[in-house]
Amino acid sequence: MLFDHRIEVKTPEQVRSMRAAGLVVGRTLARLRDAVQPGVSTADLDALAEASIREQGGVPSFLGYGVPPFPASICASVNDEVVHGIPGPRVLQEGDIISIDCGAIVADEDGTGWHGDAAITVAVGDVPEDVRRLMQVTEDALWRGLAAARVGGRVGDISHAVESFVRAAGDFGIVEGYTGHGIGTSMHMEPDVPNEGRRGRGPRLKRGMALAVEPMVTLGTADTVVADDEWTVISADRSWAAHYEHTFALTDAGVWVLTAEDGGQARLEELGAPYGAI
């Protein structure tokens, strides 16, 4: 494997292997979005996710991850839970929102496992206008970040695009202490991809690098606390939070959003960014 300043650099063939993993995640999240409704438990969603990942030839990367070992295939974070919620008996109610984070590993012909990582926030039935807007702002900020990535640019260009979009949208909290990340043969690799930063700063972006961008935004504070389960991250003021994430790779053509079913083509073209499928 080639590295540039500790950042993994993939060949075009390896990027295509990552696309396979990204599609497993993207399709699984599409199924989960359709399954979200009042009366469904977060454990139900987890079971659906694990079956979807395995049926497509993947392995859930979250299962057994970290310390204490994460016990499920998705993170399911409801309302004031920001990220890393553990699926369980909680039943979704009309008016809730749920952030679902999903990761999968797919092996290439040589047996090397490639990771995909993405997240969506879904409304359970009707939610108040401010919550709907929180979700829209967070998702749009993700796409601004993705569209800011260029070969020869810097990680800070992505961070700045995310931050400036959220700040201009209103009085939201950009969650501190959690960032996007490099991804490839592991889920979490160099470099960090912060949701705040300055243009032109940070590691240089090169062809073959793959990153996960994941804004986490609240209706209140940027501060969080971790629950007694040692995983669930909750906003410190109990304000509701949204989380969207995609994994992308930089190619000679541009930005290829590996976990988006259309590769990101529609949103990138809308934002005037080069679409990088190879």
Does 29 engage in binding with Mg ion (CB under 5 A)? no
Q: Contact region for Mg ion (CB under 5 A) — 62-70, 96-104, 165-173, 194-202?
A: 96-104
Which residue, 117 or 139, has its beta carbon nearer to Mg ion? 117
Question: How far apart are CB 45 and Mg ion at their closest, in Å?
Answer: 15
Which residue, 129 or 245, has its beta carbon nearer to Mg ion? 245
Does 117 engage in binding with Mg ion (CB under 5 A)? yes
- Report the site for Mg ion in 186-215 (rule: CB under 5 A): 212
Which residue, 69 or 171, has its beta carbon nearer to Mg ion? 69
Q: In this structure, what token pair is assigned to residue 278?
A: 């190879």
Which residue, 45 or 252, has its beta carbon nearer to Mg ion? 45
Question: How far apart are CB 209 and Mg ion at their closest, in Å?
Answer: 15
Does 101 engage in binding with Mg ion (CB under 5 A)? yes
Question: How far apart are CB 245 and Mg ion at their closest, in Å?
Answer: 5
Question: How far apart are CB 188 and Mg ion at their closest, in Å?
Answer: 7
Does 8 engage in binding with Mg ion (CB under 5 A)? no
Does 145 engage in binding with Mg ion (CB under 5 A)? no
- Report the site for Mg ion in 230-249 (rule: CB under 5 A): 245
Binding interface with Mg ion (CB under 5 A): 101, 117, 119, 212, 245
